[in-house]
Amino acid sequence: MPGTSPGLTETLSKEHAMNIMNVDYSTKIPNNVNLSEDRQVLKALEGWHPGYMNWWSDMGPEGFQQSLVYLRTAYSVDPRGWAKFDYVRMPEYRWGILLAPQEENRVIPFGQHFGEPAWQEVPGEYRAALRRLIVIQGDTEPASVEQQRHLGKTAPSLYDLRNLFQVNVEEGRHLWAMVYLLQKYFGRDGREEADDLLRRRSGDADSPRMLGAFNEATPDWLSFFMFTYFTDRDGKMQLHSLAQSGFDPLSRTCRFMLTEEAHHMFVGETGITRVVQRTCEAMKAAGISDPADIAKVRALGVIDLPTIQKKLNLHYSLSLDLFGSEVSTNAANAFNSGIKGRYHETQIKDDHRLEKDTYPVLKLVAGEIKRVDEPALTALNMRLRDDYTQDCVKGMLRWNKVISTAGYDFKLTLPNVAFHRQIGEFRDIHATPDGVLIDDATWKARHGEWLPSVDDGDFIASLMTPVTEVGQFAGWISPPKVGIDNKPGDFEYVKIET
Ligand code: BYC
């Protein structure tokens, strides 16, 4: 700006940054994307809003819609302070469109457009591929809310009930995030896709959600914790990859979604820790030395460690399927064209094009599981899945620490990647959790040893009686170490309407 003092320029750019950080609440849809001046998109979103509210009322949490829930709501995208906590009725939660601030001069960090300026509009040749990824991402968000809609009735405490609802409203916001991209950047077919996101239903025979794990039931709270640990973590990995996208609005959207996602995985990790903790305490108090003595442990009203392992086997293997086939031309094309990168792409030290590189992939070769070098480009799903597995191990170490500190010789483990797969290299074979290939008859006879059986489900269901007294917890789970927003143990996280 000629003739302007450096001080003023600085002030102006700071003001600009603050505008992006702060959210405009004057429109029906809170946002930091200047919707009040983008009338067409605002109109499309306002047109979509009633359908969303109908979906929330039909498929969102069952009951509790008039309860006051102590929720955090995003009011800014400043990482130093972006959320405020208050009592909110869920239908009055402000589902907003929030994008992380635009990075100045951002370039595409991988693929054949490496180093070119990031796109602010959708490049014509990648339109269909980008729309597909955004639709798949969008589809998972309402799916998870649908899967969890019955859980409020059996919450083990008000603290847990509040966490469930926090996760649910934020998954709803993540749906809004994808719908904004579809409506702003994909015209008429984007609007049709946005409508379809409200039409499909988790587990529906005619119109199911798009990815396998999102059509499975979440029948109890142990499943909920496993889901938020393992399946939300797939969400983390996929969002990280999309946050690298050359399509800048997608990148900025995903970056902010990741801020909220961390809490969802926290709910899963600490939830499982608390279940394991309670089981160990109860076994110790009753003088049980063998954690595999299932009948004795269950008689104490806690979930035995072998059953926790079975639930873990189920949710981990379902989540591995979400990475697609180990060798995938879709993945190669998405990377080459600059629309989906790798986990922590900008921190990886290589040429970010991968044209000549290879990556070791686990494959079935002559009836054996072997590592085979494949072109790195087609192996990108496998690579992301490996990054995911490494990330999963961290929580496991914490759970095992609780078990060993209690003096028990029992370790929770991740099953082999060939175990219980429906997608990819191992979908047509059966393997034990240790990775030993077995025939159909052996699988049929033994799968109940490794995956939750009907009896296991019935036992867990028998423990799922709601606890709604302030500061109280069901007998199968320990209280958390600290409260949400540092609230004390007797805080009323949900004021249930009477
Ligand atoms: N189920 O080349 P392939 C989250 C289809 S979770 C059903 O092997 P690709 C969240 C695939 O669509 C993160 N179908 O795989 C968590 C393709 O079909 P078409 C969600 C599947 O394309 C908790 C065909 O098989 N986000 O955010 O390389 C709570 C061959 O595909 C499955 C994303 O996933 C499956 N599991 O990779 C709330 C990111 N797997 O098109 C939220 C966007 C594959 O040939 N999605 N297929 O008919 C992607 O990046 C990729 O589409 C995938 C698949 C990773 C899903």
Predicted pLDDT at 79? 78
Predicted pLDDT at 8? 37
Band of the pLDDT at 25, cuts 50, 70, 90? confident
Count Cβ atoms below 10 Å from residue 262 Cβ, excluding itself: 10
Predicted pLDDT at 27? 82
Predicted pLDDT at 20? 56
Best mutation site among 126, 136, 166, 245 for ligand 1 pocket (most ligand atoms within 8 Å of CB)? 136
Q: What is the mean pLDDT of residues 61-84?
A: 91
What's the pLDDT tens digit per position in 245-268? 999 999 999 999 999 999 999 999
Residue nearest to atom 25 of ligand 1 (CA): 324
Predicted pLDDT at 412? 98
Q: Over 60: is that where the pLDDT of 1 sits?
A: no
Q: Over 80: is that where the pLDDT of 498 sits?
A: no
Best mutation site among 171, 211, 228 for ligand 1 pocket (most ligand atoms within 8 Å of CB)? 211
- Ligand 1 centroid to Cα of residue 341, in Å, is 15
Task: Work out the mean pLDDT of the chain and round it to a whole number.
Answer: 94
Kindly state if the Cβ of 231 falls inside 6 Å of ligand 1.
yes
Kindly state if the Cβ of 333 falls inside 6 Å of ligand 1.
no
Q: Over 70: is that where the pLDDT of 12 sits?
A: no
Band of the pLDDT at 466, cuts 50, 70, 90? very high
Best mutation site among 423, 425, 426, 427 for ligand 1 pocket (most ligand atoms within 8 Å of CB)? 423
Predicted pLDDT at 231? 98
Kindly state if the Cβ of 324 falls inside 6 Å of ligand 1.
yes
| Residue 228 · residue 265 · CB < 8 Å | yes
What's the pLDDT tens digit per position in 207-227? 999 999 999 999 999 999 999
Q: What's the one-letter identity of residue 377?
A: L
- Ligand 1 centroid to Cα of residue 226, in Å, is 20
Judging by beta carbons within 10 Å of its beta carbon (0-12, 13-18, 19+), is residue 247 exposed, middle or buried?
A: buried
Kindly state if the Cβ of 234 falls inside 6 Å of ligand 1.
yes
